[in-house]
Amino acid sequence: MEKEGKKLLDTPSNDSNVLVPFDTFVKIFGLSTSGMGGPSPRIGVKGRDEDAGLLDLEYEMRGVMRNLRGLKPREDDNFALNRPEMIAGQITQLFSVIGVVGGVIGSFAILVGGFGIANIMFVSVRERTNIIGIQKSLGAKNFFILFQFLFEAVCLCLIGGLAGLLLVWLVTLVPQDALPLGMSAGRIILGLLVSVGIGVIAGIVPAIMAANLDPVIAIRAK
């Protein structure tokens, strides 16, 4: 078998396993039904393609194993039947929880960042009130002032988004056998679009305030 390396969640790797005929295994090691007195074998069984969900195979295997173990109808199973989709389902559920938690944390981070950008833009409008008055007295339209401050807010958010993408890209360069990380073009575009959206939302109110300033009063501001 090909080398697998360290697996996700430190699950057992096939690098330390060996495949031997069952009869040979029993002759060399004996057979332990409890798993405490020696090696306990795991038997792999492949179902038919027409067996939807492998339910027929599971029922048949349970019946065969209970008969071999001599279990009575009301006795519990003293063996385990594992299906690959069980592990896959658990991993999928784990990543779903991680995704929800990451989304909540990311939402708070975006909210805090949006308030930060809005605060910066309010300060910028206050400090540049005199310049805004001069621009409007020279013929600058309201939409020009509005676009100017919106553009600044979006640029600030894009700088933060690009910095975040750079950090994630650096993390993807770390060699990992268990969980390889990568960045897709779709995720990069989504991150940049979110940055633009946050910039527009955070900068729209300060930009409107700047666009609606009276030029005479704005020029006199200090």
193 is a domain residue? yes
CB 196 within 8 A of CB 150: no
184 is a domain residue? yes
Same domain, 38 and 111: no
Same domain, 138 and 201: yes
Regions of the chain short of the pLDDT cut 50: none
The pLDDT, as a whole number, for residue 8 is 60
Same domain, 39 and 135: no
Domain that holds residue 128: 84-220
76 is a domain residue? no
77 is a domain residue? no
Same domain, 160 and 134: yes
The pLDDT, as a whole number, for residue 32 is 60
- Three-state SS string over 150-205 comes to HHHHHHHHHHHHHHHHHHHHHHHCCCCCCCCCCCCHHHHHHHHHHHHHHHHHHHHH
Same domain, 123 and 203: yes
CB 142 within 8 A of CB 117: no
88 is a domain residue? yes
The pLDDT, as a whole number, for residue 85 is 66
Same domain, 92 and 173: yes
74 is a domain residue? no
The pLDDT, as a whole number, for residue 40 is 63
Same domain, 35 and 135: no
The pLDDT, as a whole number, for residue 122 is 92
2 is a domain residue? no
User: Domain total for the chain?
Assistant: 2
Query: Cα dist. 18→8, 13, 33, 46 in Å?
Result: 20, 11, 20, 19
Same domain, 184 and 90: yes
The pLDDT, as a whole number, for residue 106 is 85
Eight-state DSSP code of residue 48: P
Same domain, 58 and 117: no
Same domain, 53 and 101: no
140 is a domain residue? yes
Same domain, 111 and 202: yes
Same domain, 197 and 98: yes
Domain boundary among 69, 102, 119: 69
The pLDDT, as a whole number, for residue 9 is 58
Convert the pLDDT of each residue in 50-89 to its tens digit. 777 777 888 888 888 888 888 888 888 887 777 766 666 6
